[in-house]
């Protein structure tokens, strides 16, 4: 169960600038 695209995880990863899959214009 590898859920790396979770809402909370995505926000955390995007805020850290380490979210490569979160650069969908969320910043």
Tell me the pLDDT of the chain (27 aa) as tens digits. 776 655 665 566 555 555 555 555 555
11: which DSSP letter?
H
Cβ-based neighbours of 10, under 8 Å, separated by 6 or more:
19, 21, 22, 26
What pLDDT score does 2 carry?
79
- End-to-end alpha carbon distance in the chain: 27
Domain extent, residue 15, equals: 1-27
Tell me how far apart the alpha carbons of residues 2 and 15 are, in angstroms, rounded to a whole number. 20
pLDDT at 11: 62
Give the alpha-carbon dihedral of 10, 12, 17, 21, to 10 degrees: -10
Total domains, the chain: 1
């Amino acid at each position: 169960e590898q859920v790396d695209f979770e809402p909370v995880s995505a926000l955390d990863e995007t805020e850290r600038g380490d979210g490569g899959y979160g650069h969908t214009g969320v910043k």
